[in-house]
Structure 1
Amino acid sequence: MDATNKRVALVTGVGRPEGIGFAVCQQLASQGIITLLTARRPEAAETLANRLQDEGVDVRPYVLDVAQPESIRQLVEHIQQDIGRLDILINNAAGTSAYGEQAATADLDQAHAVMETTLFGAWRLIQALLPLLRQSPAGRIVNVSSGAGSHGDPMFGLSTSNQMGTSYAVSKAALNALTSKLALEEKEGNVLINAVCPGFTATFEGGEAMGAQPVADGAAGIVWAALLDNDGPTGKFFRNKKELAW
């Protein structure tokens, strides 16, 4: 067990340096938080963690596939053995669906895989890590969501004809619902649970030319929710630190 008084954060789905998860790790670690960077592939976790370690911060690589219960079990065991505490959980891992996917014709096996990662992966991991998070004086769970899963988003939401893919949108809506229910259950404790949409972010080549915000800006809203004071909001949905409609 690592006898440290520093806060410890775990970020899922950190597979590439251009992604939101990597930027979240970078921003958390830069504030002196021990950051557990997880990816499905061991080489990706090692390479990305080493890249941040070169900046002089404490980032540690772990292998995690949230769709595999055994992978979650092994991760929790390693955290308990290596560190013995957890203060922040960022559920960033998500499945993706084909652009233009429609509910009437979607491949339900593929839709199931999206739900398995985005919803049930986050749900399993939360269940497994809640005992540690409840021991923290300031436990935080941030579920990285999307306006695609909101009825209130006028551009990308459930009531629009955007082409982001139905299974992606439905999985994010379900993640929002899970956020609300879990926050209600934990309202008497120290664990604050919120969903955050990072917004239209340049995680792909040419994104900024299309009007997407820099990745660091999208990550900043997630980090903000991870570092809320104990009297901060819980059971809410945010983008850029502003509350969104479910």
Structure 2
Amino acid sequence: MNEQTIALVTGANKGIGFAIAAGLGALGWRVGVGARDEARRESAVAKLRAAGADAFGVPLDVTDDASVTGAARLIEDRAGRLDVLVNNAGVTGSGPQAPTEVDLATVRTAVETNVLGVIRVTNALLPLLRRSTSPRIVNMSSGVGSLTRQSTPGAETGPISAAYSPSKTFLNAVTVQYAKELRDTNILINAACPGYCATDLNGFRGVRTPEQGAAIAVRLATLPDDGPTGGFFEDAGVVPW
């Protein structure tokens, strides 16, 4: 691209999202830091700028229509287009998640953020992405969303979960549907598995750093025009659905 590449990362004020924003900023891109909390968002922007990144804050609650519309308007006013969207914002959900014990509100919360939030943001930003010469969408999923791994005896897929894991399976399925609808465009959309990273979502029990988890997102955000679409990837390659 001749002009500076413009990216938006949702849930970018901390953890993997912040690391993704930092990784894209290090490429010389202009990066929108999407986050709900104003203080944390502006703190993240300040840290990124101090490291040399061209970052700006984007007030964004992916569960709120008005907030998402406002974010799209802000990016249009600031840049006039969007080249890369990284749908990173996500929640694990609270309480017991065994299917016989889970509170349905927990399931709804996970789906509202991890799936409906992605659809809401993606659809709002698509008009701006269509103005890009090489638009990319990266949906941050998880290996626990793989039905193949979940159903393989002995595979390590974390605790039983009727909210978080299925929400990521749902997200994977939605990613495929977007790829099918957009197959005749220049938009590439893929799901990414960052691995088990130490973030506040898991009480920092993960074995990978946020920076390691961000690497796959940066790779998918920088795919060449003949790159894959509708896939599910991790550092080692393709993740089985």
Q: 2:11 aligns with which of 10, 13, 21?
A: 13
**Structure 1 residue corresponding to 2:177, chosen from 181, 189, 209:** 181
Are the aligned partners of 2:93 and 2:109 in contact in 1 as well (CA < 8 Å)?
no
The one of 21, 29, 42 aligned to 1:46:
42
What SS is found at the alignment partner of 1:135?
Answer: coil
How big is the shift at 1:188?
1.2
Instruction: Please give the residue correspondences for 1:53-64 in structure 2 after superposition, counting only pairs within 5 Å.
Output: 53-64=49-60
Look up the match of 1:213. 208
d(CA) in 1 for partners of 2:129, 2:167 = 24
User: Distance in 2 between the 1:168 and 1:78 partners?
Assistant: 31
In 2, the alpha carbon distance for the partners of 1:206 and 1:77 equals 35
8 A contact 1:97–1:164 mirrored in 2? no
Find the residue that maps to 1:152 and give its secondary structure.
helix
Is 1:162 the equivalent of 2:171? no
Q: Kindly report which structure 2 residues correspond to 1:92-111, keeping only aligned pairs within 5 A, or say none.
A: 92-98=88-94, 100-111=96-107
Query: Cα distance 1:241–1:222, how it changes in 2: closer, same or farther (>3 A)?
Result: farther
How big is the alpha-carbon RMSD for the aligned residues of Structure 1 and Structure 2?
Answer: 2.1
TM-score (ref. length: structure 1): 0.90
Could you tell me how far apart the structure 2 residues matched to 1:161 and 1:58 are?
Answer: 37
Seen in structure 2, the aligned counterparts of structure 1 residues 149 and 161 have a Cα distance that, compared at 3 Å, is closer
Segments of 5+ residues of structure 1 without an aligned counterpart are: none
Structure 1 letter corresponding to 2:16: I
In structure 2, the CA distance between the partners of 1:161 and 1:103, relative to structure 1 (3 Å rule), is: farther
Following TM superposition, by how much is the alpha carbon of 1:155 offset from its aligned partner in structure 2, in angstroms? Answer: 9.3
Secondary structure of the 1:36 match is strand
1:104 deviates by 2.1
Identity %: 37
Whether contact under 8 Å (2:197, 2:204) holds in the other structure is no
Structure 2 runs not aligned, ≥5 long: none
Q: 1:161 to 1:234 in 2, by over 3 A?
A: closer
Q: Equivalent residue for 1:28?
A: 24
Cα 1:64/1:241, change in 2 over 3 Å: farther
* 1:156–1:53 Cα change, 3 Å: farther
The alignment of Structure 1 onto Structure 2 pairs a total of residues equal to: 237
| Distance in structure 2 (CA, Å) of the matches to 1:45 and 1:161 | 32
> Are 1:135 and 2:131 counterparts?
yes
* Preserved contact between residue 97 and residue 161 of structure 2 (Cα < 8 Å): yes
1:243 partnered with 2:241? no
- What is the CA deviation profile of residues 155-191 of structure 1, one whole-angstrom value per residue up to 9, with x for unaligned ones? 999x877315320011101100000000111111110
